[in-house]
């Protein structure tokens, strides 16, 4: 036990005694000197800080704060006010189950149609058998037209309203992990999947509609300008945050990915689709 200074002890006793005899009315009628005397040991936290402490606790401990799917919508529009990450994440939304099934079916049909289309890379003088590019991953985009309405397939370079939202689906040659980047008109890059603080799940071989917790997702394009490029990267292992950062710093991600994917030891593949936007704010 430490020995307390007698003056301190006396002072504490005095103020304690003063408060013991108090009631609210006396305090309200007390002089400034008295109020100061009986509260000299008290330290007041800043009221605004106490309120913010509770906000921090709420935001930290609410699971939704770190979840990506924020709300179900009734219409195809995603209301946005400001441009925080959560707002950006808010662009993702669940699609009602039936409409999801319609979207899945539609994208699946279109994906398989795409695969039936004759592609380039047919050797000179050869006819007949189609040669598919060995991409590893194909990205398919569709426009979300609202619940109960079939999604519209989008092609590379297509134009659509920035009020619309897009659906993603992929065809993977082999199972793997995905990352989706969004490149804006000015080249600014953003990771839209995996969601902050999470890593990609392992996506199965073949066709998959982009789903989260078993529910199809659409991505709102509002506040995006002129054109956007969605780049999907497939890797054998989930990309670490360091790798994601490296890609985010890239001036020309597509070229970088092209170089990397051409290496003999390459374990990644990618696909990209550019969309032109109209009616951007």
Partner 1 sequence: MTLRELIQDIDVEKLLARCIQRTKFERESLQDALYGVIAKLLSQGSKYDNSFPNAMALEGYIQTAAIRNVIRLSKKKQQHYETNHEGEPKDPGANPEEQVVRHLELQSMRELVQRVMEQHQAPRGIHKEIRQLLELLLSSDEFFQVRQTGQSKGIVVFDIGKLSKKLRWSRYQVSHRLQHLQKAFLKENKKQ
Q: Which residues bind partner 1 (CB under 8 A)?
A: 1-2, 4, 12, 15-16, 19-20, 22-24, 27-28, 30, 32, 35-36, 38-39, 41-45, 47-50, 52-62, 64-66, 70-73, 79, 81-88, 191, 196-197, 241, 244-245, 248
206-209 and 165-172 beta bridge pairing:
antiparallel
State in angstroms the smallest separation of the CB of 19 from partner 1: 4
Q: What is the DSSP string of 55-76?
A: HHHHHHH-GGGG-S---B-SSS
State in angstroms the smallest separation of the CB of 25 from partner 1: 9
Instruction: Output the six-digit token pair for 242.
Output: 């360091």
Contact between 209 and 104 under an 8 Å Cβ cutoff? The reply is yes
State in angstroms the smallest separation of the CB of 52 from partner 1: 5
State in angstroms the smallest separation of the CB of 108 from partner 1: 28
Phi first, then psi: what are they for 104, rounded to 5°?
-60, -50
Phi first, then psi: what are they for 143, rounded to 5°?
-95, 130
The beta strand positions in the chain, using DSSP E, are 92-94, 137-144, 152-154, 159-161, 165-172, 176-183, 189-193, 202-203, 206-209, 211-212, 215-220, 227-235, 269-278
Residue closer to partner 1 by CB (options 53, 119) is 53
State in angstroms the smallest separation of the CB of 180 from partner 1: 14
Instruction: Output the six-digit token pair for 238.
Output: 């989930």
For 193, the 3-state DSSP assignment is strand
State in angstroms the smallest separation of the CB of 153 from partner 1: 28
Residue closer to partner 1 by CB (options 21, 117) is 21
Residue closer to partner 1 by CB (options 66, 207) is 66
Residue closer to partner 1 by CB (options 190, 227) is 190
Distance of CA 97 to the CA centre of its chain: 21
Residue closer to partner 1 by CB (options 160, 180) is 180
Residue closer to partner 1 by CB (options 36, 119) is 36
């Amino acid at each position: 036990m430490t020995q307390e200074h007698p003056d301190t002890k006396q002072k504490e006793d005095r103020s304690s005694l003063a408060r013991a005899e108090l009631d609210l009315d006396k305090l309200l009628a007390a002089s400034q000197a008295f109020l100061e005397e009986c509260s000299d040991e008290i330290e007041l936290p800043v009221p605004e800080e106490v309120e913010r402490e509770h906000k921090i606790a709420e935001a930290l401990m609410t699971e939704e704060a770190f979840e990506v799917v924020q709300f179900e919508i009734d219409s195809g529009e995603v209301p946005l006010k400001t441009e925080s990450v959560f707002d950006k994440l808010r662009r993702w939304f669940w699609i009602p189950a039936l409409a999801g099934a319609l979207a899945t079916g539609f994208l699946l049909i279109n994906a398989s149609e795409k695969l039936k289309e004759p592609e380039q890379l047919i050797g000179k003088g050869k006819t007949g058998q189609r040669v598919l590019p060995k991409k590893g991953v194909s990205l398919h985009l569709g426009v979300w037209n609202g619940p109960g309405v079939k999604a519209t397939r989008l092609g590379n370079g297509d134009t659509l309203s920035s009020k619309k939202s897009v659906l993603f689906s992929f065809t993977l040659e082999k199972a793997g992990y995905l990352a989706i980047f969004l490149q804006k008109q000015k080249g600014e890059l953003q990771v839209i999947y995996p969601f902050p603080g999470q890593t990609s799940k392992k996506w199965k071989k073949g066709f998959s509609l982009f789903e989260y917790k078993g529910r199809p997702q659409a991505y709102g394009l509002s506040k995006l300008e002129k054109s956007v490029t969605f780049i999907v990267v497939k890797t054998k292992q989930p990309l670490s945050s360091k790798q994601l950062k490296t890609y985010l710093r890239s001036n020309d991600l597509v070229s970088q990915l092209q170089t990397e994917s051409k290496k003999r030891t390459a374990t990644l593949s990618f696909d990209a689709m550019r969309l032109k936007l109209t009616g951007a704010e």
